[in-house]
Chains A and B, each alone.
Chain A
Amino acid sequence: MTADSSAPEPAAPGGPGGRPKKPRRKPLTLVVVVGLVLWTWFTGRQVGFDLTTFIDLWTNPLWEKFWPVPWEWVLDRDNVIDPLVETFQIAVVATVVGCGLALPVSFAMSRLTTPNGGTYWVTRVVMNIVRAVPDLFWAKLLVTAVGIGAFAGTWALSIFSLAVMVKLFSETIDGADPRPLEAARAAGGRHVPSVRAGVLPTVLPSYVAYSLYIFELNIRASIVLGLVGAGGIGRVIEAQRQYFRFGRILGVLLIIFVVVFVIEQISVALRRRLV
């Protein structure tokens, strides 16, 4: 790298055949590095950073409580399997609703395909605000609004996955080839048919790939929804942790782990074939 950039200069510092001179570091670099180190040190103090916790963590006697796993309890239908199915149902519905709504909204939020400037800015501002609220905040708010249960969780995840999907997909539309759209407009197409024929086919594979990705995110998110009372397997973990039944929690975790792992492998394989 260094040799390359100094090659055009005939008299390289250090003489011909000598080692090229090392470029000097800029003072601004030093300022930024020192700033980041100080900031990290300060934040570490604030959160009570403590290396001994690392060591204590492994020797903590509580770990023994995670074993043995009561498999007959864990594999019972009512205890774990039904809430796990509910987790899936939340994720599926939220993905379909969120990604379905995201299709038109994304087109409205891309500079290439937005019908007018007003629509563009309104969707952009609204979606950025929606995305800035963490998913479990949405879940807790909606639990308060519509009551405890999977219904609230589905709403929360639908809203959040809509916002994330719109962000991802509208950026893909921004990068789409504008020429088919121009051709459709030149041929006298109205706005929606032009976008439908000129842009949609080129970005559809990305749309499907992102939807699968959103589904993975939603599976993970719907696992934890239960911690705030929004349904799914999380409520089992929440209930068991209040009684310190660590063996049961470990059993649930192992099942979640296997399921998430399998789904992710399938989803990744599908996405590889798509893009």
Chain B
Amino acid sequence: MTATVPPDERHEGAPAGRPERPVGPLVARAVVFVIIAGAFAWGASGLDASWARLRSAPGDGWAIFRLMWPPDFATELDRGVIGKVLESVYIAWIGTILGAAISLPLAFLASNNVSPSFIRLPIRQLFNAIRAVPELIVAVILIAITGLGPWAGALAIGLHSVGTLGKLSSEEIESSDRGPVEAVEACGGRWISRVRWGILPQVMPVIISYWLFRFEVNVRASAVLGMIGAGGVGAELISQLNFRNFPEVGAVLIITIAVVIFIDTISSAVRKRIIAGGAGDDQSRMAVLFGDLVGHRGG
């Protein structure tokens, strides 16, 4: 296309004609394409993905789902699958509460408008360090130390949540408006008053919505934790899959999907209300409610 036009002729086209396409973006596009294609080829080379395997994989995957139909709910309900799904939800909830409770004070200490750099930087690195290790790996270690059970799972999820929530919350705190803080300062407020009355009311709605979002993520994480023995629905899935009881697997999957979607829907509705409030000038019930929770009356 454009690449064939010699550079010195580029500005000499007919004045009313279509402007020439710049060459720079095309070159950049080609470079990006080559990099991605190269990375993909390198990656695929290590996965022993022969053509035969690639061709049969969708069929094999589909066969599994075919075998799951019709799902066997009766057996699964007898085996107490509801209790196991609920156990996953409990683990996620306690993990989120732990993460929220520990991360909130730490997030303030990690923010540049609240704390000095010799406190801030180590806490930041702590958040980064925690986030770099997946919760499942944390759970593997905790299970070795504390033994099997839901409490180990909740601890692992809580620990990981401290990292993610701490990072998100401290970013929110750093981008908060300085006005209220200056007002408190002008009234002679000490450090703790500045945080409590100047910053906390501003950032709390967003931080609470992060907590809820984390709870949604944690529900999935805790379902997975069962697979390595930390309690919850994952253990049930693993044992049924290992015995190739596909109708039971189907039932476990459907119940898990239903619970996860149910929780996601409620949580995202609450999050929307907290962040956006109701329509028009009226403050939504939910925003007022959560405003009350944190001592904030938005105007």
Q: Which residues of A contact B (CB under 8 A)?
A: 1-2, 4-5, 23, 25-26, 28-29, 32-33, 39-40, 43-44, 46-50, 53, 56-57, 60, 62-63, 85-86, 88-93, 96, 128-129, 132-137, 140-142, 144-146, 149-151, 154-155, 220-221, 223-224, 227-228, 231, 237-238, 241, 244, 246, 249, 253, 256-257, 260-261, 264
Contact = CB atoms under 8 A, between A and B. Distances in A.
B261 interface: yes
Contact of A256 (B61, B132, B234): B132
17 contacts: A5-B297, A40-B94, A57-B145, A60-B146, A62-B144, A89-B43, A89-B47, A92-B40, A134-B224, A134-B260, A135-B224, A136-B227, A145-B60, A155-B57, A223-B137, A237-B137, A241-B144
A60 to B, nearest CB: 5
A47 B231 contact: yes
Contact of B47 (A56, A90, A132, A260): A90
B256 interface: yes
A92 B144 contact: no
Most buried by A among B49, B90, B289: B90
A142 B59 CA distance: 11
A194 B134 CA distance: 42
Contacts of A96: 36, 39-40, 43
A249 B141 contact: yes
A1 B261 CA distance: 37
8 interchain residue pairs of minimum CB distance = A92-B43, A89-B43, A93-B43, A89-B46, A47-B150, A43-B90, A132-B260, A134-B220
Given A1-B296, A47-B94, 7 more contacts: A23-B297, A60-B145, A129-B261, A136-B224, A154-B47, A253-B133, A261-B132
A126 B132 CA distance: 31
B276 interface: no
B44 A93 contact: yes
B40 A25 contact: no
B93 interface: yes
A33 to B, nearest CB: 7
Contacts, number: 196
A198 B89 CA distance: 43
Contact of B94 (A43, A56, A231): A43
Interface in B224-238: 224, 227-228, 231, 234, 237-238
Given A5-B297, A145-B63, A246 B144 contact: yes
A47 B151 contact: yes
B194 to A, nearest CB: 15
Given A89-B43, A132-B257, A133-B256, A154 B49 contact: yes
Contact of A257 (B97, B133, B150): B133
A73 to B, nearest CB: 18
A224 B137 contact: yes
Interface string B149-191: 1110111000000000000000000000000100000000000
A46 B87 contact: yes
A200 B194 CA distance: 45
A224 B134 contact: yes
B18 interface: no
Interface residues of A, dominant DSSP:
helix
A226 B140 CA distance: 12
Interface of B is mostly: helix
B59 to A, nearest CB: 9
Nearest to A94: B43
B256 A132 contact: yes
Interface string B32-49: 000010011011111111
B223 interface: yes
B81 to A, nearest CB: 14
Interface in B87-112: 87, 89-91, 93-94, 97
Contact of B140 (A128, A149, A227): A227
Contacts of B153: 47
B149 A48 contact: yes
Given A4-B299, A227-B228, A146 B91 contact: no
B292 A26 contact: yes
A107 B261 CA distance: 22
A61 B182 CA distance: 50
Nearest to A211: B36
A144 B64 contact: yes
B72 interface: no
A69 to B, nearest CB: 14
B293 interface: yes
Contacts of B293: 29, 32-33
B128 interface: yes
Nearest to A96: B40
Given A26-B292, A224-B134, A146 B40 contact: no
B134 A223 contact: yes
B57 A146 contact: yes
A63 B292 CA distance: 44
Q: Most B CB atoms within 10 A — which of A49, A91, A264?
A: A49
Contacts of A5: 297, 299
